[in-house]
Amino acid sequence: MLAVLLAASALLAGSARQPSPIPEPGNERPALAPGAISERIACRDDPKQGYAVYLPSSYVATRPWPVVYLLDARGRARIPLDRFRGAAEELGWVLVSSFNTRSDTHDDPNTPALRAMWKDSHERLALDDRRVYLSGFSGGARASLALALQAPTAISGVVGCGAGFPDENAPIRSLAFPYFGTVGDRDFNYYEMRALEQKLADAKAAFRIGYFEGGHEWPPAELAREALVFLEVRGMRAGLWPRDEALAARLYREDVDRARSLEASGRLDAALVRWSDAARDFDTLADVAEARSQAARLQKSDEARRQDREARKRDDRDRAALRRLSEKISQAFAAPDLTAAGVLASELGVPALRQRAASSDAAERMSAERILATLRVQTRFYLPQRFLERQDLPRARLALGVASAIDPEDPIVDYDLACASARSGDAALALKDLDRALGKGFRNLDLLDTDEDFARIRDDPRFRKWVEDAKKGRPG
């Protein structure tokens, strides 16, 4: 993260918050098509760095445009472009998304990726450096916030998706730019974002947190639009571009309609947040008297207060449960004698959580699914990765065994077990794992020819025969 911040200073040091210069005649590069996504643009100074761009249909190179730089955790540049594209078209924003950003790596790929696409896109497009925004997903969200916190005069706002601040435990005293956070209701970072919402409210920051039905992922298009609308409105209030009273009035009415809809569905606590946000964000841009009066009314509502109290109580309960689970996991994997995966899964309460996740009580169902999501990412990704790097196959398999108890019908867990076994050179054990994966429906057999995890056993006659036999019996 320090490298990101140092690079941020160097990257943005020359920004004077002025529009990027239009390329001089003779220095132009092939034009990008407005109204379409242009993919796999190689950076001129570093061809290994690539990005994709969306230009709104109204784009012309004779005036500067606001831009959002997108940092996906796995370099999947198209996903955020597809999510933000509709809003960018409607509001007239440029989107630039890297194919080289990553999270959960030992090195720092994000600094060179952002530096390269920033420089290349500024040379190629007419961008307004008064209106530069960052958005990232998961580790990309944390990197975006770290950069903006380091260079708040160069970044006009952040959309953080699926994760919060670089240090989630750090106190928040002030925020010099508007922030829009998003999180799915089954995301393992849900509780972090809930806590962040309260911290930002206490700090009286310019922010919103948007929730959606889903897991750890970029927000759906409608919430991505809300994020850009929020930044558009906040930009008008800050004087970054001329006020459009007709647009502001229309966007304010959309907020009002959403607040009414939430209240009509009985979600008074959520309606109170929406009314309050509308009154705060559109103040001086539109007549917010209705939003203020409705927020004041709901602040006195016993039912709204009860719903908020119950939600906070449930959050506190679940956070305490997650802390206990984290302690149990640490103790189990630190023990010299490892317990069986099924036993550990029971000690972690996986069967009970799976039962709760099928409950008819929506709040309890979501609670269980969020806790399971946290256990899932630990036992399917972080713990196996850590132990395989240490060449500790027993502990890697223990973690994946717990993951199998969480998702017993998922063949990918057994495939991952086979990968772990193959990396250790145990062909016999890997084939047993593959047998289970095949029995549960795994059919991507061509992956076995290219997956580097199987490099150590690929020439083993037993492995070659298993793959050959499996492909012969493959449907289709």
Arithmetic mean of pLDDT over the chain: 91
* Residue 8: per-residue pLDDT: 47
Least Cα distance to 85 among 224, 232, 182, 242 occurs for 224
| Cα separations in angstroms, 101 against 142, 143, 300 | 12, 10, 46
Is the pLDDT at 249 greater than 50, yes or no?
yes
Rounded CA-CA distance 218/97 in Å is 13
Q: To the nearest whole percent, how much of the chain has pLDDT over 70?
A: 93
Is the pLDDT at 22 greater than 50, yes or no?
no
For residue range 131-186, what is the model confidence (pLDDT) as tens digits? Answer: 999 999 999 999 999 989 888 888 999 999 999 998 887 778 888 999 999 999 99
* Residue 318: per-residue pLDDT: 95
**pLDDT band of 29, cuts 50, 70, 90:** low
* Residue 4: per-residue pLDDT: 42
Least Cα distance to 375 among 338, 416, 334, 347 occurs for 347
| Cα separations in angstroms, 60 against 251, 282, 401 | 25, 29, 56
* Residue 7: per-residue pLDDT: 46
Range in 27-36, 73-82, 211-220, 374-383 the model is least confident about: 27-36
For residue range 90-120, what is the model confidence (pLDDT) as tens digits? Answer: 999 999 999 999 988 878 888 889 999 999 9
Q: Indicate the length of the chain as a whole number.
A: 476
* Residue 128: per-residue pLDDT: 95
Domains of the chain: 2-13+29-242 (3.40.50.1820)
Residue corresponding to tokens 């000690």:
347
* Residue 474: per-residue pLDDT: 62
Contact criterion met (CB below 8 Å) for 121 and 53: yes
**pLDDT band of 473, cuts 50, 70, 90:** confident
**pLDDT band of 30, cuts 50, 70, 90:** low
> Which residues are bridge partners to 286 per DSSP?
283
- Give the pair of three-digit tokens for residue 441: 């429906």
